[in-house]
């Protein structure tokens, strides 16, 4: 079957089209992406403004047309922290539904963490042992830990790269005092969760997902994406600690010219690096491995798990 997954995230609206059936690895067939940066479009009351809602509706409509053009039998549409936490979430969801016919399922932060953990578990397999999975999105940081496919601990913190950049780093380059304040804020937030994970013992493997971790690993010397999914890519805390001061002194434009850094994400990279550094330090992680799969793949896998073997339709 051909299945579409529409992810309305804090940074992008991303349609991933895959060919999949129960018991098999989902094979990507098409990707349609638009950067909206909803986390940066909230007004002072925490609502998504009229311009943001208009852009979201039109982008969802475009993605739905792309899914139809590619022959998708069904589209799994969901939204994460930017919509979940918006003061006018109900209004936004209603407009999307009324004008596009798409009903967005709003995932909780814990659901995000659990589905991302599932994707990492399936990618690395049972031989990876106890996994600690970290994901830095535009609106939130997710962490999951466990031995099975369902994590024993899963948390979501409002420490996404887009959210923090908009709220804490107004300068370009940012003022050193703002960077220090953000660093304290990030570490205080992460520290509140460390004890819950520490009681479960040390992980056998630490995994990082999301664009932020991929970009930071590339800066630290990891292979380019063009070299394929199956090349091992790692990020060490030592390398990250060397890069944070460099990123702190750069403008967004300068970061956008670094290897592996997407121009649209360059402005958020410093905040993402501070979150990654804080997480690796407080969870006592010396090295993590980059996982190509994350939340979207977790949503696909969970849906496939609920289909009988051999079923050819999602309806």
**Are residues 161 and 276 both part of a single domain?**
yes
SS (H, E, C) 128-140: HCCEEEEEECCCC
What range does the domain containing 28 cover?
A: 2-106
**Are residues 95 and 153 both part of a single domain?**
no
Q: Give per-residue pLDDT as tens, 3-48.
A: 999 999 988 999 999 998 888 889 999 999 998 888 777 787 889 9
**Are residues 63 and 195 both part of a single domain?**
no
- Which of residues 90, 106, 122 is at a domain's end? 106
**Are residues 16 and 145 both part of a single domain?**
no
Per-position b or e across 184-223, b if 16+ CB within 10 A of its CB: ebbbebbeebeeebeeeeebebbbbbbbbbbbbbbbbebe
| Residue 302, in any domain of the structure | no
Angle at alpha carbon of residue 40, lines to 136 and 170, rounded to 5°:
95
For the segment 216-227, the average pLDDT, to the nearest whole number, is 95
For the segment 206-219, the average pLDDT, to the nearest whole number, is 97
| Residue 132, in any domain of the structure | yes
Q: State phi, psi for 191 to the nearest 5 degrees.
A: -60, -30
**Are residues 138 and 73 both part of a single domain?**
no
Instruction: State residue 311's pLDDT score.
Output: 46
| Residue 303, in any domain of the structure | no
pLDDT bin (cut points 50, 70, 90) of residue 218 is: very high
State both tokens at 160: 């996404």
pLDDT bin (cut points 50, 70, 90) of residue 231 is: very high
**Are residues 64 and 123 both part of a single domain?**
no
**Are residues 98 and 122 both part of a single domain?**
no
Instruction: State residue 308's pLDDT score.
Output: 61
Domain containing 23 — which CATH number? Answer: 3.30.420.40
Q: How many domains does the chain have?
A: 2
Spatial CB neighbours of 83, under 8 Å, sequence gap ≥ 6? 8, 38, 48, 89, 92, 93, 104, 106
State both tokens at 241: 């600690």
**Are residues 154 and 224 both part of a single domain?**
yes
């Amino acid at each position: 079957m051909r299945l579409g997954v529409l992810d309305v995230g804090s940074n992008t609206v991303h349609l991933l089209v895959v060919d999949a059936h129960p018991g098999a690895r989902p094979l990507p067939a098409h990707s349609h992406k638009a950067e909206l940066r909803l986390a940066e479009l909230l007004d002072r009351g925490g609502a998504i403004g009229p311009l943001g809602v208009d852009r979201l509706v039109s982008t969802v409509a475009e993605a739905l047309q792309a899914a139809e053009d590619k022959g998708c039998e069904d589209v799994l549409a969901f939204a994460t922290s930017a919509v979940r936490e918006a003061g006018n979430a109900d209004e936004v969801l209603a407009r999307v539904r009324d004008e596009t016919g798409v009903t967005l399922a709003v995932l909780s932060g814990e659901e995000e963490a659990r589905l991302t953990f599932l994707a990492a578990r399936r990618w690395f397999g049972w031989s990876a042992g106890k996994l600690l999975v970290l994901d830095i999105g535009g609106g939130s940081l997710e962490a999951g830990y466990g031995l099975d496919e369902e994590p024993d601990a899963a948390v979501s913190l409002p420490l996404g790269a887009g959210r923090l950049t908009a709220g804490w780093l107004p300068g370009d380059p940012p003022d050193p005092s703002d960077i220090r304040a953000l660093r304290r804020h990030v570490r205080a937030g992460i520290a509140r969760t460390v004890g819950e994970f520490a009681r479960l013992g040390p992980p056998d493997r630490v995994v990082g997902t999301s664009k932020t971790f991929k970009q930071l690993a590339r800066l630290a010397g990891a292979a380019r994406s063009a070299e394929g999914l199956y090349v091992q890519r790692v990020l060490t805390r030592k390398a990250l600690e060397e890069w944070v001061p460099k990123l702190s002194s750069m403008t967004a434009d300068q970061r956008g010219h670094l290897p592996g850094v997407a121009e649209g994400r360059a402005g958020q990279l410093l905040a993402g690096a501070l979150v990654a550094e804080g997480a690796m330090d407080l969870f006592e992680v010396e090295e993590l491995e980059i996982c190509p799969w994350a939340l979207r793949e977790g949503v696909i896998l969970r849906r496939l798990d609920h289909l009988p073997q051999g079923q050819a339709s999602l309806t």
